């Protein structure tokens, strides 16, 4: 009788583990699809950011912006380069 109870308990644990694995795989698969869709939307939004008109760099010549800018950065902007110096 004791062996039967142990076998039933082991069977119950095994069935529970298999059921949990199937449910977990189903949920993970669904979240992977959702994550893929979210990544695609984010990638599209990031790539759809507006470029300057004409494709050329246009520096920010606002007085407030210029006040906090280093001379090296201003030189890059004046040369028509995208600034790499903070």
pLDDT, one tens digit per residue, over 41-71 is: 444 444 444 445 566 777 778 888 888 888 8
21 occurs within a structural domain: yes
Question: How far, in Å, CA of 55 to CA of 61, rounded?
Answer: 18
pTM for this entry:
0.35
Q: Are 73 and 85 in contact (CB under 8 A)?
A: yes
Count of structural domains within the chain: 1
Range of the domain at 17: 2-47+58-78
pLDDT, one tens digit per residue, over 3-31 is: 999 999 999 999 999 999 999 888 877 76
């Amino acid at each position: 009788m004791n062996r039967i109870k142990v076998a039933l308990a082991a069977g119950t644990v095994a069935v529970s583990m298999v059921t949990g694995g199937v449910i977990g795989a189903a949920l993970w698969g669904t979240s992977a699809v959702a994550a893929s869709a979210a990544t695609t939307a984010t990638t599209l939004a990031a790539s759809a950011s507006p470029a300057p008109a004409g494709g050329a760099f246009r520096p920010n010549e606002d007085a407030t912006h210029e006040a906090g800018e280093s001379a090296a950065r201003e030189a890059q902007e004046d040369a028509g380069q995208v600034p790499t110096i903070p």
